[in-house]
Chains A and B, each alone.
Chain A
């Protein structure tokens, strides 16, 4: 199906009638004191006056919070004699449409599915949200300088697992959409009235700008490198904040806590970060990951090795968000190149000029 860019808003309006649609758009905060406005691209509930931008750079934050919210109530309770109760608070059964997510973010959702659906456990909160979401993915038309998904085995033009795949048509202000699942077929049926002519159209194809040299079995190599001196070096510049984990589309760790008001309260879960000291701190105060070296090692290992061992795929999807947002300008793609090239048995690791510049690993 072909939909012209001019009809995009109409399409979103139609879809928004039967479901809540989330689109990449600009949120603007006016700063009157500094006489400027701050714009941030993020997934927002569709409104007619939104400034939607499907193409261009990806959103700063991934759309993962729509399926796995930052803060999610699990159950509420009251402890007051006969009025006492415990009530599960599953997410509402409202259909949602995630419109315009990128192939890297679609792959992330598939990884999250593995975490929350497999190994004999189904997370009922995630499952409920996932069931009610229809995903329209869009192939990238341009990539950021930090995008390296194709080096991680992901094609920026296709998104397996998305309900609808959408690609910009070469030389035209229009998109080519095709359903990949039954949910997707149902969604496109709603848009039939907007369908444009489809003769000899060709979808745009894009390549990542950042190509990195990763050896195919890096996961197994890293598994043998837990004590390697490279960790001391690459983690020194880290300041130990949680930015990389919170902008990462595949970081799924959470903590559970409660909020109490008198005799009532609720249990909630919220995102946690393995970069924080309390992530592994035991009740008695001991911490098996006492410094940022152990914490960042864990993060890199989880993305590049541990997840492979458990689920058979690499957890880093190459979206580049952690590279773009790291306060210290640490770069996981550089680490992938360095660790691919390094001698796994080396006892000393010295940064070389070419490695430090990321030019040659």
Chain B
């Protein structure tokens, strides 16, 4: 079978979305719709058959869809998601973190062709890893050899240079929490940063508070990052946020062997498990 064309894939997405709604089990299908700009789409909830015809599939379908499932954690009906490879890893992430229940989801996987988003060049999983129905022929998984190259380059800088770089970045940060809100690993019911009465996180958007936020978020995400790049894509101030989570993944890969997050619902995150035969050489 040959690869599906973009138009045919879009048609199939609409068919599957309509089928899902017609089953009566699904309340809405989350995908993308057009905007007034040809090079932009937006996340869209199709709730009627007519609205399913508004779902699009083109190089600009760049927003993650999975995180919208968290908007209603205790739904009466299933939510259907149109999933690319990265979205499927996001679903695995949230299932593994016990924030979503598989039975509340209906997953329409689409073999992705890469989007107009720089992170897509680094994609290793274009075929969704979890789905109920798959559109397209599974693509061969690719290894992106440059995965940690930027981190290696960055590590060569002196601590002072690295600090100056991040300080300048966090001077730009406007403390909007877009990175957190887009991140599938940021799935806490209540974020520490929203617990203002406790006072973990100051609200002022100054360097100090921005750095505390950035650092805390990075460590909270830790080994759970699925490398979808949403944090960086959504940042209105263009902070290279992936560089923080990638650094941790690089360390994890060096310490614990090859590791990627969100590959399955059952995986044990590198830092979330223990082995009795762990050498514990640092103790």
The answer to whether B178 touches A239, judged by C-beta atoms less than 8 angstroms apart, is: yes
Q: Say whether A241 faces chain B, with CB atoms less than 8 Å apart.
A: yes
The answer to whether A71 touches B205, judged by C-beta atoms less than 8 angstroms apart, is: yes
Of B42, B154, B182, chain A has the most CB atoms within 10 Å of the CB of: B42
Option from A40, A237, A242, A359 in Cβ contact (under 8 Å) with B36: A359
The answer to whether B54 touches A356, judged by C-beta atoms less than 8 angstroms apart, is: yes
Name the B residues within 8 Å of A270 (CB-CB): 203-205
Q: Say whether A19 faces chain B, with CB atoms less than 8 Å apart.
A: no
The answer to whether B165 touches A31, judged by C-beta atoms less than 8 angstroms apart, is: yes
Q: Say whether A131 faces chain B, with CB atoms less than 8 Å apart.
A: no
Q: Say whether B168 faces chain A, with CB atoms less than 8 Å apart.
A: yes
The answer to whether A351 touches B240, judged by C-beta atoms less than 8 angstroms apart, is: no
Q: Say whether B120 faces chain A, with CB atoms less than 8 Å apart.
A: no
Name the A residues within 8 Å of B151 (CB-CB): 33
Q: Which residue of A lies closest to B180 (CB)?
A: A241
The answer to whether A70 touches B204, judged by C-beta atoms less than 8 angstroms apart, is: yes
The A interface is mostly helix, strand or loop, or mixed, namely: loop
Option from A33, A236, A276 in Cβ contact (under 8 Å) with B194: A276
The answer to whether A32 touches B153, judged by C-beta atoms less than 8 angstroms apart, is: yes
Q: Say whether A89 faces chain B, with CB atoms less than 8 Å apart.
A: no
Of A259, A329, A331, chain B has the most CB atoms within 10 Å of the CB of: A329
CA A131 – CA B182 in complex, angstroms?
Answer: 41
Q: Check A277/B194 contact, CB under 8 A, given A145-B37, A334-B35, A351-B54.
A: yes
Option from A246, A277, A357 in Cβ contact (under 8 Å) with B174: A246
The answer to whether A327 touches B63, judged by C-beta atoms less than 8 angstroms apart, is: yes
Q: When each residue 31-47 of chain B gets 1 if its CB lies under 8 Å from chain A and 0 otherwise, what string results?
A: 00111110011111101
Option from B35, B68, B176 in Cβ contact (under 8 Å) with A273: B176
Q: Check A329/B35 contact, CB under 8 A, given A237-B45, A353-B53.
A: yes
Q: Say whether A255 faces chain B, with CB atoms less than 8 Å apart.
A: yes
CA A233 – CA B51 in complex, angstroms?
Answer: 11
The answer to whether B42 touches A278, judged by C-beta atoms less than 8 angstroms apart, is: no
The answer to whether A350 touches B35, judged by C-beta atoms less than 8 angstroms apart, is: no
How many B residues, CB 8 Å from partner? 55
Q: Say whether A272 faces chain B, with CB atoms less than 8 Å apart.
A: yes
Of B50, B150, B174, B196, chain A has the most CB atoms within 10 Å of the CB of: B174
The answer to whether B181 touches A239, judged by C-beta atoms less than 8 angstroms apart, is: yes
Name the A residues within 8 Å of B252 (CB-CB): none
Q: Say whether B101 faces chain A, with CB atoms less than 8 Å apart.
A: no
The answer to whether B71 touches A243, judged by C-beta atoms less than 8 angstroms apart, is: no
The answer to whether B51 touches A351, judged by C-beta atoms less than 8 angstroms apart, is: yes
The answer to whether A328 touches B165, judged by C-beta atoms less than 8 angstroms apart, is: no
Chain B proximity of A230: nearest CB distance (Å): 13
Name the A residues within 8 Å of B240 (CB-CB): 31, 34
Of B177, B197, B236, chain A has the most CB atoms within 10 Å of the CB of: B236
Q: When each residue 1-42 of chain A gets 1 if its CB lies under 8 Å from chain B and 0 otherwise, what string results?
A: 000000000000000000000000000010111110010100
The answer to whether B44 touches A327, judged by C-beta atoms less than 8 angstroms apart, is: no
CA A333 – CA B202 in complex, angstroms?
Answer: 33
Q: Which residue of B lies closest to A61 (CB)?
A: B174
With contacts A291-B71, A351-B54 known, what are 18 further pairs, Cβ within 8 A? Answer: A32-B157, A33-B153, A33-B243, A38-B238, A70-B204, A210-B36, A236-B68, A239-B178, A241-B181, A272-B203, A292-B71, A325-B236, A329-B35, A329-B63, A331-B35, A333-B36, A350-B47, A351-B33
Would you list the 4 A-B pairs with minimal beta carbon distance, nearest first? A358-B36, A327-B234, A241-B178, A33-B154
